[in-house]
Each structure stands twice: as C-alpha cells, then as structure tokens.
C-alpha cells in the first residue's frame, strides 16, 4: 500500500502536467462548443423559407450524427479527415476540434430545450418594437437561454472532462496518457490508474456540486 | 474522381464483412451490458429509495464512483485490476462487466428520479389499502415510472452502445477494433472510419426508432 503511494508520489509533477493538459483541452473544447452550439441553435430557429428549412435539415442531421456515433470514432475520423484535406494539425489541436464539434452538437440540443422555455410573447414583443434579428438574439433570447440551461451546461462540461481521456488515442499527453506511459515505464498499473481515477473523481464531484447549486438557485 | 470512386468501392467491399462481424459483437456486448445494468441499476435504485440510511449511503457511493470517473479509466482499472483480485475472465467479459456497472449507475439515477417524481399520494394510498412495500413498488410505482423514464433509458442505452467502442482499447473485437483491423488491410482510414460511424449511427437510429414506437403505444394505452 505505502509502496504504491510512494511510487505514485514519485511522479507527481508528471500528473500535474497531465492534469493541466486535461483541463486545458476541456476548457478550450467547451468554449468552442458553446460557440458552435449557439450558432447551431440560431441557424435552427430561423423562419420557414426554403433555405432556412434546408439549413435546419442539415443541422438536424449533424446533431443526429454527432449524438449517434461514439466520440472515439469521431476523434479518429476528424484526425484522418483533417490530414486528408491537407491540414496537418497537431494531435492536440485536432483533439480539441473533435471534442468541440462533438460537444457542440450536444450543446445545441440543450439550448433548444432552453429556447423552448422562453415565452413566445417576448420574441413577438421584441419584434413589435422594431428590434433587429441580431439584437433580438443577443439581448433577449440568448441571455435567458444561458440562464435557463446553466446547470445542463455544467453537466456537459463534466461530460467533456470525462471523454477527454479518449484523446490519449491520438497521443495527446493528458492525464490518462500520462498514466499509460508511466504504466509502460514502471510495469505497475493499478496504483497509477487509481490515482488518476481519484483526480478525475474530485474534479467531477466538485462540478456536480456546482450543478446542484445552480439548480437550487434556479428554483428559488 | 473516378479513381477515387473506384477506391471507395474497393475499400468498402473489403471493409463491410469485417465491420459486420464487429457490429454483432458490439450488439452482443451492449445487450449483455444493458441487461446487467438493469439488474444492478434496479438494485441500486431500490436501495436509493429505501428508508434504510446505510443502504442509501452505499448505493449513493456506488453511483457517485461510477458516474464521476471517466469510463476509459474504469476500463483500464477493470482490465488490470480483475486478474489481481483473482477474477480471470476474457477481455469480452471484462468489458461486459465494466460497461454494465458503469451503465447501472446511470440507470439507478433514472429509476430513482422517476419514482421520486411520482406523487406521494400514490404510495400512501397503496399503504393505506394494506398493500405490502414490494407490492406497492411492483404494482403501483414501477408501472407508472416505466412509461415516463423510457426516453431517458433509451438515451442511456444509446450511450452504452457508444461507450462500448472504448472497449477496443482492451482488445475486445467489437466494431471499433474491427475498424482498426480493416484499416490495417485497406490503408484508407478515412473511408473505413466513415463506414464505422455509419454503422454506429444505424444501430442507434434503430434503438431510437423502437423507443419512439413503444412510447407512442404507451401513450395510446394511458389515454
């Protein structure tokens, strides 16, 4: 037991570095995903003219694909697709792109839920006083949507942190990859995996408390 | 362009039989894992709504542990940890076991919140009529909950099918693993991954479609 702890503590700077990368990837992905999710929501809620309907269909197919295929396959797919079209990006960048494209799809679904909670009268009122479309979205709809879906957005952030280990297949040296490397180097597996499991657990459990806090705030 | 099309056709012709093998294994794993998850999740959910504090606490810790750690790390832990505990099973069964445990935590939460969402009057009325606790749960509470939680359970099952892809890291020969094998033969990763994505998508669309059918049927009965 104490031997295990000693061997883990011996490498703690590496774990810190890995943790830093995990958080960096997750935060970057979640910020880009927020933009993608918002964009998809705006595209989706357009009028009923023909181009709008086509756009809506495309967005629906995109979201369905993102939600219907494993993130692992998406990560590989995007890594390969980027190199085929001639963009030789680093594993880190294409990993962030894959994560944010994935999370963006989920985000769009979450935000649709928030959008439908806004009373129709508000949008009509804004149009009646002559607000432009851009102003309507940035001043009336989006602020309320974000307020409504704040707990779900935090849960989505937890999800992103939980899928970030999959970037280790692209050799992004985040927390899980660090552990894998150490396992190969030292030949002992369990202590390292337990150590990173505890680290992930602490982060996710704290964020879950934040979700609960946000939910309580919303009810009051 | 013509050459590209030819390559596409050639690659898919080699790839699809391989991937189909993987699809069957993926479905097999998912079905077994979901069955296990329903049992474990049912037990954990039952503990969560029981009055016994200790049981509630134990189930709470179980759920928290599985929900708050990444599945990939759990897979590694199971893969290296089970043999150390003396449980020497194949990668396939390790995968089923860990995927089942992971999903069960989510199933437990869905069940718990479904039953808690019912009005208190339901169980009180049942107790007042002299129904036993098990009977109340089986006859009154669960039937009402099931129809409500079908959408979230479906979402969870789709998630399970997707999570089974991670088992490829412990060499379970499911769809993602077979994809890698097909790439080893054809050397055109993009097309093969696209095929794999389409297969997963198809499986999940079927699940979604079935669940919508069941939901519709239920609604007709309850109305």
ipTM of the complex: 0.86
Q: How far apart are CA A67 and CA A76, in angstroms?
A: 16
B77–chain A nearest CA distance, Å: 6
Q: How far apart are CA B33 and CA A134, in angstroms?
A: 47
Structure tokens at A209: 């408390």
Q: Which of B64, B80, B193 sits opposite A205 (nearest CB)?
A: B64
Q: Could you give the percent of chain A with pLDDT greater than 90? A: 53
Measured between beta carbons, the chain A residues lying within 8 angstroms of B208 are 68
CATH number of A2-219: 1.10.3720.10
Measured between beta carbons, the chain B residues lying within 8 angstroms of A87 are none
Of the listed ranges A56-65, B34-43, B81-90, the one predicted with least confidence: B81-90
Task: Verify whether the Cβ–Cβ distance A71 to B162 is below 8 Å.
Answer: yes
The residue among A85, A84, A83 whose CA lies nearest residue A93 is: A83
B183–chain A nearest CA distance, Å: 12
Answer yes or no: are the C-beta atoms of A104 and A33 closer than 8 Å. yes
DSSP-H helix ranges across chain B: 2-49, 53-67, 71-84, 91-117, 120-128, 133-135, 142-163, 175-186, 189-222
Q: What is the mean pLDDT of residues A61-87?
A: 90
Comparison of pLDDT for A205 and A86, the residue scoring more: A205
Q: Could you give the percent of chain B with pLDDT greater than 70? A: 98
At B93, the pLDDT band (50, 70, 90 cuts) reads: very high
Q: What is the value of pTM for the model shown?
A: 0.89
Q: What is the pLDDT of residue B223?
A: 46
Q: Could you read off the pLDDT of B105-140 as tens digits, one per residue?
A: 999 999 999 988 888 888 888 888 888 888 888 888
A164–chain B nearest CA distance, Å: 8
Does the B21-222 domain belong in CATH 3.40.50.720?
no
Residue A40 has pLDDT above 80, yes or no: yes
Residue A220 has pLDDT above 80, yes or no: no
At A219, the pLDDT band (50, 70, 90 cuts) reads: low
Q: Which of B65, B73, B176 sits opposite A193 (nearest CB)?
A: B73
Q: What is the pLDDT of residue B84?
A: 86
Measured between beta carbons, the chain B residues lying within 8 angstroms of A72 are 165-166, 168, 176
Q: Which residues on chain B place their C-beta less than 8 Å from a C-beta of chain A?
A: 64-65, 67-74, 76-77, 80-81, 84, 158, 161-166, 168-169, 176, 179, 189-190, 193-194, 196-197, 200-201, 204-205, 208
Q: Could you give the percent of chain B with pLDDT greater than 90? A: 51
Comparison of pLDDT for A216 and B61, the residue scoring more: B61
Q: Which of A68, A84, A196 sits opposite B73 (nearest CB)?
A: A196
Q: What is the pLDDT of residue B29?
A: 95
Residue B222 has pLDDT above 60, yes or no: no
Q: What is the mean pLDDT of residues B31-59?
A: 93
Closest chain A residue to B160, measured at CA: A70
Q: Which of A80, A189, A208 sits opposite B80 (nearest CB)?
A: A189
Sign (positive or negative) of CA dihedral B174, B176, B180, B183: positive
Q: What is the pLDDT of residue A93?
A: 92
Residue A61 has pLDDT above 90, yes or no: yes
Torsion, Cα of A153, A155, A156, A162 (10° steps): 150
Q: Could you read off the pLDDT of A127-178 as tens digits, one per residue?
A: 899 888 888 888 888 998 998 898 999 999 999 999 999 999 888 888 999 9
Closest chain B residue to A64, measured at CA: B201
Mutate: best of B8, B64, B70, partner A, most A CBs <10 A = B70
Buried b (16+ CB within 10 A) or exposed e, B81-104: bbeeeeeeeebbebbbbbbbbbbb
CB pairs under 8 A between A and B: 102
The residue among A170, A77, A182, A21 whose CA lies nearest residue B169 is: A170
Task: Verify whether the Cβ–Cβ distance A73 to B193 is below 8 Å.
Answer: yes
Please provide the average confidence, as pLDDT, over all residues in chain B: 89
Task: Verify whether the Cβ–Cβ distance B71 to A162 is below 8 Å.
Answer: yes
B140–chain A nearest CA distance, Å: 29
Q: What is the pLDDT of residue B150?
A: 87
Measured between beta carbons, the chain A residues lying within 8 angstroms of B156 are none
Q: Could you read off the pLDDT of B195-216 as tens digits, one per residue?
A: 999 999 999 999 989 988 888 8
Task: Verify whether the Cβ–Cβ distance A84 to B190 is below 8 Å.
Answer: yes
DSSP-H helix ranges across A85-219: 91-116, 120-128, 133-135, 142-163, 175-186, 190-219
Q: What is the pLDDT of residue B220?
A: 64
Q: Which of A67, A73, A165 sits opposite B72 (nearest CB)?
A: A165
Ramachandran quadrant class, B118 (left: phi over 0; alpha: psi -120 to 50; beta: rest): beta
Q: Could you read off the pLDDT of B168-197 as tens digits, one per residue?
A: 999 888 899 999 889 888 888 888 999 999
Residue A126 has pLDDT above 70, yes or no: yes
Answer yes or no: are the C-beta atoms of A78 and A97 closer than 8 Å. yes
Measured between beta carbons, the chain B residues lying within 8 angstroms of A190 are 77, 80-81, 84
Closest chain B residue to A163, measured at CA: B70
Closest chain A residue to B206, measured at CA: A68
Q: Which residues on chain A place their C-beta less than 8 Å from a C-beta of chain B?
A: 64-65, 67-74, 76-77, 80-81, 84, 161-166, 168-169, 176, 179-180, 189-190, 193-194, 196-197, 200-201, 204-205, 208
Residue A48 has pLDDT above 80, yes or no: no
């Amino acid at each position: 037991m104490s031997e295990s702890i000693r061997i883990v503590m011996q490498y703690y700077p590496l774990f810190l570095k890995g943790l830093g990368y995990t958080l960096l990837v997750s935060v970057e992905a979640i910020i880009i995903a927020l933009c993608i999710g918002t964009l998809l929501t705006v595209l989706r809620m357009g009028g009923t003219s023909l181009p709008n309907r086509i756009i809506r269909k495309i967005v629906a197919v995109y979201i369905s694909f993102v939600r219907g295929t494993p993130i692992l396959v998406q990560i590989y797919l995007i890594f390969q697709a980027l190199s085929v079209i001639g963009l030789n990006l680093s594993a880190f960048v294409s990993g962030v792109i894959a994560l944010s494209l994935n999370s963006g799809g989920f985000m769009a679904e979450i935000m649709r839920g928030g959008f439908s909670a806004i009373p129709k009268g508000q949008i009509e009122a804004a149009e009646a006083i002559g607000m432009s479309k851009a102003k309507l979205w940035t001043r009336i709809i989006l602020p309320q949507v974000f307020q409504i879906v704040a707990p779900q957005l935090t849960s989505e952030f937890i999800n992103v942190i939980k899928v970030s280990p999959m970037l280790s297949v692209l050799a992004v040296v985040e927390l899980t990859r660090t552990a894998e490397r150490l396992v190969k180097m030292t030949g002992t597996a369990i202590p390292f995996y337990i150590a990173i499991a505890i680290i992930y657990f602490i982060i996710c459990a704290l964020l879950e408390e934040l979700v609960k806090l946000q939910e309580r705030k919303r009810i009051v | 362009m013509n050459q590209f099309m030819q390559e596409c056709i050639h690659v898919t012709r080699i790839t699809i039989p391989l991937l189909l093998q993987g699809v069957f294994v993926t479905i097999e794993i998912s079905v077994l894992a979901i069955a296990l998850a329903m049992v474990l999740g049912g037990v954990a959910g039952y503990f969560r709504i029981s009055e016994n504090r200790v049981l509630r606490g134990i189930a709470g810790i179980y759920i928290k542990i599985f929900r708050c750690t990444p599945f990939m790390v759990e897979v590694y832990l199971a893969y290296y940890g089970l043999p150390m505990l003396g449980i020497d099973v194949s990668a396939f069964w390790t995968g089923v076991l860990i995927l089942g445990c992971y999903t069960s935590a989510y199933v437990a939460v869905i069940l718990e919140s479904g039953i808690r969402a019912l009005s208190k009057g339901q169980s009180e009325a049942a107790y007042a009529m002299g129904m036993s606790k098990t009977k109340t749960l089986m006859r009154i509470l669960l039937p009402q909950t099931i129809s409500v939680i079908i959408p979230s359970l479906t979402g969870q099952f789709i998630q399970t099918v997707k999570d089974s892809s991670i088992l490829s890291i412990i060499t379970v020969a499911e769809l993602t693993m077979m994809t890698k094998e097909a790439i080893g033969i054809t050397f055109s990763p993009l097309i093969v991954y696209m095929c794999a994505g389409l297969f997963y998508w198809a499986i999940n669309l079927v699940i979604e479609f079935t669940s919508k059918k069941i939901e519709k049927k239920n609604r007709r009965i309850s109305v």
